Chains A and B, each alone.
Chain A
Amino acid sequence: MRQSRLTLTLLYGGLTVFSLLWLVPVMTAFMTSIRPLDEIRGGWWNFDNATFTFDNYVRAWDQGLASFVANSFIITLGSVALTVATGALATYAFVHLSFRFKRLWFFLLITTMIVPIQLILIPLLPWFRTLGLDQGAWQFVGIVLVHTGFGAGWAVFMLSSFFRAVPKEMLEAGQIDGASHWDQFRRLVLPLALPGIVSFAIIDFIFVWNDLLLALTLLQREFQPIQVGLANLQSPHLAQQDLVSAGAILAILPPLVLFSALNRYYVRGLFAGGTKG
């Protein structure tokens, strides 16, 4: 589309300024995390006599952030693995097979995208106790299952767009050749829909990594992920902005890295979810 040079200059200029403003919050956290607290008191944009240090990260790490990060990985990788595995299987059926109550199940599944997690939150505690999932490392199993259960709707919804993209003719050809559905799933659909599955995995990773409420409710201290650790560093008893910001940056890193490295997939995944048809 042709536009006047003036328009373009204004646009580029305006967007650049706005982009910089948009990044200020992250810059604030980053700056606060790499400088000693008393320097920050005057405002992080003062760079006279600025000292930069990773001390805050070290301290935050020692104060338990290390175990939080480990927990985050366990929970997130576990949830994503389970959700993708079960979700891909289920989506194949939704897309290519017909079965009783399919409509109903689908409807129920997508309600998870709409209702608040609070709908299931409160009974989960007693329910975990009944199932024995409140003891020790079983808590990890429990929360992974909840993430899968609650993420089931998103999984089927998003994956179905990608599965549908596999041409029907190829499937029909396979069927004529006598391939079972399981073979088709494994050899045909999965490989072709793989980019889509990766997209979904990334989105799910970021979503589970960033979850606060479920972890806050269901997990005991030793098993809590970094988001809860972060929320707790904000203690009303101490002014620990230096530690909190270091924690925040650490908490942001994995999703950020994932996002930058696999940008294409992430965006594609959200496209699929966001557009109708």
Chain B
Amino acid sequence: MRIRRAIVLGAAMVIVVAACGGNGSGDTTTTGGDGAPQTTTGDDGGTQSVSGDLSIVHTWTGSEQEAFEAVLAGFEEANAEVNLSRVEIPFGELNAQLTQQFAAGSAPDVTVALPGLIRLFAAQGFLMPLDGLWDGWMADGSYTEPLREIASADGTPYGVWFKGNVNGLIWYSPDRMDDLGIEPPATWEEFIAALDAVEAEGGEPFAVGGADLWPLTQWWDPILARVAGADVFNGLVDGSVSWDDPAVVESFEVFGDFIANYFPADALDRGFVEATCARVDGAAEFQNQGAFVNLVARGECDDSLVPGEDFTFFLMPKFDEAAAEVQFVSGDLFAVNADTANPDAALALVEYLGSAEAQTIWAERGGFVAPNSQVSTDVYPDVNDQRAAELWPADPSVAAVYDLDDFIGGEIQTVLREALQQFVRDQDVDAIVQSMVEVDERVRG
């Protein structure tokens, strides 16, 4: 299987290279809806070509890196005089490395960054405000206000959305659900009933990748969003809501029930990939994870899986039917170095990355949800990606909340992750609330 994958990858690379050499840009501009003019800062219609040296930092490896390279190729074609160098930094080192580089004055012109980092660096004056770009995007409806909020610090946007992801998706295998006689649940009661049914059959309801820390946060965040709502969620981020708020406590209690009743005993032993494969292999029925499972399940576990048929998902239902619709998202943004030596090119690059044109390039390859609502859902290669894209909060009335711990960052993020691990072990609501209240006070004062 490894050899086959190598061949597939190799073939893919050849195709990419060929496509780039050929009519690459021709392909990418035929997305529906891309007739919308790209508003640049001050220019009217049409993007001007930029030049000079430019550096960009990202965290993607393997097939994701190839996809990103294809996206960058689009920019390089339109701006042939730009010398764009890219550096890949492992995700886990991003914070430390960027901190060093910014403090040393050798930071890249453009860098991938999560909202927490954006807030942190913006507060230090390291990043360039991007009001101009965002005004244009808001005007033509590419992005909504909640998304702009997420990319902002103190009301000013510093980040550009590039790669989106929707979370709170419960993955399952339709065949096995049929065998168990369960329908994809649409309400919370049906959801619980389905889980109970699995248990009654002696099955394991969930595969959880707790060893990798972040899957646990992506477990609790949608529960928090569903139980407490978007306002409380965002309140935790900006500090206006305290961690012992009753809605927050209730969300912990609900999560605690889930753990007690439906979590496997080895939730903390397996990493995310192992958990995904465990579910695919039938060791568990469900997995609460983001849209990227679509790629991982095929890439790492079983590449014969057919999306939609062999595996698909349903959205975690609303806890309270009367509550407003909330969508829990995550994803990668890009920010610009305030001290960049080439501001024109840097701005052009992030504008490109935030555009439907750039995002379509990756969207067509799968494993990607385009945050720009101008990207038509037709471009996605399979039904799983399409459905995920449809869940993207393109409608301004849908509250979007961003992965909580990545949004807060710093010590609170670390303590939250550790506390969640501990919580999985003992489901002690008082203890976790206490830890979070303490660290919140210590950090925010």
Contacts and interface: CB of A to CB of B under 8 A. Distances in A.
Interface of A: 36-38, 53, 55, 63-64, 125-126, 128-129, 134-136, 220-222, 232, 235-239
Given A36-B1, A37-B2, A38-B2, A239 B91 contact: no
Nearest to B91: A237
16 contacts: A38-B2, A55-B3, A125-B100, A125-B103, A134-B100, A135-B106, A220-B97, A220-B100, A221-B97, A222-B87, A232-B93, A235-B61, A235-B90, A236-B212, A237-B273, A238-B62
B300 interface: yes
B89 A129 contact: no
A63 to B, nearest CB: 7
Contacts of A136: 106
Contacts of A235: 61, 90-92
Contacts of A125: 100, 103-104
Given A134-B106, A236-B272, A238-B273, A55 B2 contact: yes
A194 to B, nearest CB: 40
Interface in B83-140: 87-93, 97, 100-101, 103-106
B300 A232 contact: no
B322 interface: no
Nearest to A133: B104
A236 B92 contact: yes
Contact of A239 (B2, B3, B271): B271
B68 interface: no
B319 interface: no
B2 A36 contact: yes
A51 to B, nearest CB: 9
How many chain B residues sit at the interface, stated as a range, is: 20 to 34
Interface string B228-245: 000000000000000000
A134 B104 contact: yes
Nearest to A136: B106
Contacts of B212: 236-237
B216 to A, nearest CB: 12
Given A55-B2, A221-B93, A235-B91, 20 more contacts: A37-B2, A38-B2, A63-B61, A125-B100, A125-B103, A126-B103, A134-B100, A135-B106, A136-B106, A220-B100, A220-B101, A221-B89, A222-B87, A232-B90, A235-B92, A236-B92, A237-B91, A237-B212, A239-B271, A239-B300
Nearest to A234: B92
A221 B274 CA distance: 28
A136 B6 CA distance: 35
Given A36-B2, A221-B97, A239 B106 contact: no
B273 A239 contact: yes
A219 to B, nearest CB: 9
Q: Which 7 A-B pairs have the closest CB atoms?
A: A36-B2, A236-B212, A134-B104, A239-B273, A232-B90, A129-B104, A221-B89
Contact of A238 (B104, B213, B300): B300
A10 B1 CA distance: 46
Interface of B: 1-3, 6, 61-62, 87-93, 97, 100-101, 103-106, 211-214, 271-274, 300
A126 B91 CA distance: 24
Most buried by B among A134, A220, A238: A238
A235 B59 CA distance: 11
A78 B368 CA distance: 45
A37 B277 CA distance: 13
A37 B274 CA distance: 13
A122 B105 CA distance: 18
A221 B87 contact: yes
A222 B61 CA distance: 16
Contacts of A220: 97, 100-101, 104, 106
Contacts of B61: 63, 235, 238
A126 B62 CA distance: 34
A19 B104 CA distance: 49
B104 A237 contact: no
Contacts of B88: 64, 221
Nearest to A41: B277
Contacts of B90: 232, 235
A211 to B, nearest CB: 17
B6 A236 contact: no
B272 A237 contact: yes
A13 to B, nearest CB: 36
A129 B273 CA distance: 40
A238 B296 CA distance: 9
A236 B271 contact: yes
Contacts of B3: 36, 55
A212 B328 CA distance: 38
A236 B214 contact: yes
Contacts of B105: 129
Contacts of B1: 36, 38
Nearest to B274: A239
Contacts of B87: 221-222
A136 to B, nearest CB: 8
Contact of A129 (B103, B211, B272): B103
A52 to B, nearest CB: 12
Residue among A129, A136, A232, A235 with the highest chain B CB neighbour number at 10 A: A235
A199 to B, nearest CB: 36
Contacts of B93: 221, 232
A239 B276 CA distance: 11
A130 to B, nearest CB: 11
Contacts of B100: 125, 134, 220
Q: Which of A55, A63, A237 has the most CB of B within 10 A?
A: A237
A48 to B, nearest CB: 16
A126 B3 CA distance: 47
B104 to A, nearest CB: 4
Contacts of B271: 236, 239
B305 to A, nearest CB: 15
Contacts of A128: 104
